[in-house]
Amino acid sequence: MRALPRLAIAALLVAIPAAAVTVTVSAHAAEDPTPITVLTSDFEDGTAQGWGGRSAETVAHSTAQAHGGTGSLLISGRTAAWQGPSLDVLDTFEKGTAYTISVWVRMDSGSDNARLSVERRTGGVAAYDQVVGNTAVTSGSWVNLTGRYTLATDVEFLRVYVETASTTNSFHIDDVTASYVPALPIQTGIPSVKDVVTEFPVGAAITGAEIVTEHGQLLTKHFSTVTPGNALKWDATEPSENTFTYAQADPLMAFAKANGLKVRGHTLVWHNQTPSWVFTGADGQPMTATAEDKTLLLARLENHIRNVAAHYGTDIGVWDVVNEVIDESQSDGNRRSNWYNVTGLDYIRTAFRVAREVAPHAVLCINDYNTNVAAKRDHLFNLVSTLKAEGVPIDCVGHQMHINVNWPTIAETESMLTKFVPLNIDQQITEMDVSIYTSNSENFTTPPADRLLKQAYVYRDMFALFRKYPGEITSVTLWGLADDNTWLDTFPVTRKDAPLLFDTRLQAKQAYWGVADPSKIETSPSPSSPSPSASVSVSPSASVSVSPSASVSISPSASVSISPSASVSISPSASVSPSTGTSSCAVTYRVTGSWPGGFQGEVKIANTGTAAYSGWTLDWQFTGGQRVTQLWGGTPAQTGTAVTVTNASWNGNVPAGGSTTFGFLGSWTGSNPVPAAFTLNGATCAVR
């Protein structure tokens, strides 16, 4: 993966063993105490309360708007989108503490995407950490930006700030808070995963937040390998041409070396989290399948790999060389990415050839998701077989394993593994997590006990399967350390997920015991799940960097498998309601993550009328040159600026007062303005 970007695409039923087991160890998530608030700015005293501008913009108290009380902070006179309010938190935030930062934002006029970030400096060198990605904000209402931030390094400068993505319009902020929940010590008296599972190394994907304090202790106790989740991707290492930076990755690499952890490099080539300049020709236009553009793109690819792989040398023993190249909806199975459209399969050949030259010691992998789906598995097998026959040095197939509590079955997963045995190459589980959700419409305030039990059985059965193939599987990596920092909190919709072995307070869950000692899994207290919330939380996670990513897999229903590719055709319901011209809908459009050249969006359709929809088609215009590149929860079509999304087979029926949500990945250049209007079945919708 992915920061961005991965989620399971199907939700096929899997049997849960009926035999009771002895209750010997409690594995429920620890109950969070009351958060401790370290920062409050309510702007009720007539001052700016320490906030200032990042440049020459004006930051002043205002009574024109207020989220709570009578005052807010108005930021005006902006001449650049990055200008905005900033607050010094150097003496407030402590290294290694996970803070939840919340700020309410409202445009003074117009609309834009707002984002919340932290600027830090060490040795005079500035770095910028995004806490909340692009989020649609208008002048019509207040919008909350909430995310988590952990300072992982020593700094001499630390400021929280808010900016917008494209315009310089004035905006307000109000009711800013920062708080944390006191950490619990990790459990030292339980078995280490790496000591229990001896057939292959077990690792975790990490960010800077996982190498400090209790997180670092948990990581080194249980795991023997790490994967930098986003720090080695193209947007992090070469944001502009031939300008390389390793500020994100170097601290992770230093921690790994100091603690004897082996490192998987992720990833050298991917169609997401790749800056737009990579695919811009010498003429300044988007590349096409010309000989000139192909030569330039492959030269950029070779230069990138030679620099990044050489920078770490033998410190990285495994590389995900290319990531997510298969699209099973295509007759030939090849994803129609910019890489493929310009170079065909030569980008894969070039990437592996150069990686072998620069890192002859390393295991070189081709990595993809949903490889337990037969069509995708078979296309990947055929591609690897063809390339290896040509002499392309592919050493390994990576199976991401972003799954959920209902999908896939053990039989499907074993078929995935046995398919590649004849190729005589390594197989690695590269990004495993097990979502507690089986559809996009679910949203639990706390993880239901029966879902956690099912999750424990999934981890138990999957690891038991993996351990049957010790000669084939050479590594298993979980996509995260604990539930407090998971990309699934904002993907494919915003809600709190719990997909890993340890809970938000780093305590062992039943899932942990499913791996470490299945005899200690608790008996389920109830066979049914509580009803999910009627609405989905819109507070984005601080830890997700997207560009997610990303390619996506989703679980649309308990019985339907749907490919996440934007080109998948899904028949909508034949009947349509409401009738054209009747306004009975409201749309909430959010950008939940953004990276150079790309973004992730989420659209919620609310039925505000009195009659149910029996099918829907949503239309809008992109005015900034944006393109939808992938969509889940519907079938997209785009002609020029006009975008149309039709319901999927499973979410066309929306009752009065109900809602449905779909998500998508898009590309953008320069600006990413929010669509101004939406129509549903021809009727104009309210915009929230």
Query: Which residues are bridge partners to 173 per DSSP?
Result: 73, 105
Going by the DSSP 8-state scheme, the letter that residue 38 receives in this structure is E
Q: Which of 445, 423, 427 is nearest to 436 (CA)?
A: 445
CATH 1.10.8.420 fits domain 36-180: no
Full-prediction pTM beyond 0.85? no
Mean pLDDT, residues 189-199 taken together: 97
Our answer to whether residue 174 is catalytic in this structure is no
Q: Is residue 302 classed exposed, middle or buried when 0-12, 13-18 and 19+ CB atoms within 10 A define those classes?
A: middle
Within 13 Å of residue 538, how many CA atoms lie on the same side as its CB?
20
H or E stretch at 673: none
pLDDT one-digit tens code per residue, 488-518: 988 888 889 999 999 999 999 999 999 999 9
Q: Token match 């236009």: residue?
A: 285
Kindly name the residue from 163, 320, 324, 327 that is annotated as catalytic: 324
Please tell me the predicted confidence (pLDDT) of residue 31. 52
Please tell me the predicted confidence (pLDDT) of residue 556. 32
pLDDT one-digit tens code per residue, 448-474: 999 999 999 999 999 999 999 999 999
Q: Which of 108, 117, 104, 118 is nearest to 74 (CA)?
A: 108
Q: Token match 């319009």: residue?
A: 169
In the chain, what are the domain boundaries?
Answer: 36-180, 193-520, 585-687
Least confident of 5-19, 33-47, 491-505, 571-585: 5-19
Rounded to 5 degrees, what angle do the CA atoms 414, 415, 416 make?
A: 85
Kindly name the residue from 57, 129, 163, 368 that is annotated as catalytic: 368
Q: Provide the pLDDT confidence category of residue 526 given band limits of 50, 70 and 90.
A: very low
Our answer to whether residue 522 is catalytic in this structure is no
Tell me the average pLDDT of the chain: 86
Please tell me the predicted confidence (pLDDT) of residue 670. 66
Instruction: Say how far apart CA 215 and CA 255 lie, in whole Å.
Output: 12
Instruction: Say how far apart CA 72 and CA 50 lie, in whole Å.
Output: 13
Rounded to 5 degrees, what angle do the CA atoms 215, 216, 220 make?
A: 120
Q: Provide the pLDDT confidence category of residue 547 given band limits of 50, 70 and 90.
A: very low
Cis peptide before 492 (omega within 30 of 0): yes
Mean pLDDT, residues 568-585 taken together: 44
H or E stretch at 589: strand 585-595
**CA 137, 142, 143, 146 torsion-angle sign:** positive
Tokens of 128: 């910028």
Instruction: Say how far apart CA 184 and CA 201 lie, in whole Å.
Output: 27
Residues 450-468, buried b or exposed e (16+ Cβ, 10 A)? bbbbbbbbbbbbbbebbee
Amino acid symbol at 584: S
Please tell me the predicted confidence (pLDDT) of residue 593. 67
Q: Token match 């009574």: residue?
A: 63
Counting residues of the chain whose pLDDT is more than 70, the rounded percentage is 86
- 193-520 folds as TIM Barrel (3.20.20)
Q: Provide the pLDDT confidence category of residue 599 given band limits of 50, 70 and 90.
A: confident
pLDDT one-digit tens code per residue, 32-58: 678 999 999 999 999 999 999 999 999
Kindly name the residue from 174, 426, 431, 442 that is annotated as catalytic: 431
Instruction: Say how far apart CA 645 and CA 622 lie, in whole Å.
Output: 13
Q: What is the phi/psi pair of residue 174, to 5°?
A: -160, 160
pLDDT one-digit tens code per residue, 237-291: 999 999 999 989 999 999 999 999 999 999 999 999 999 999 999 999 999 999 9
Mean pLDDT, residues 174-193 taken together: 95
Mean pLDDT, residues 300-327 taken together: 98
Amino acid symbol at 328: E
Our answer to whether residue 324 is catalytic in this structure is yes
With a cut of 70, say whether residue 185 has pLDDT above it. yes
The class that CATH gives domain 585-687 is mainly beta
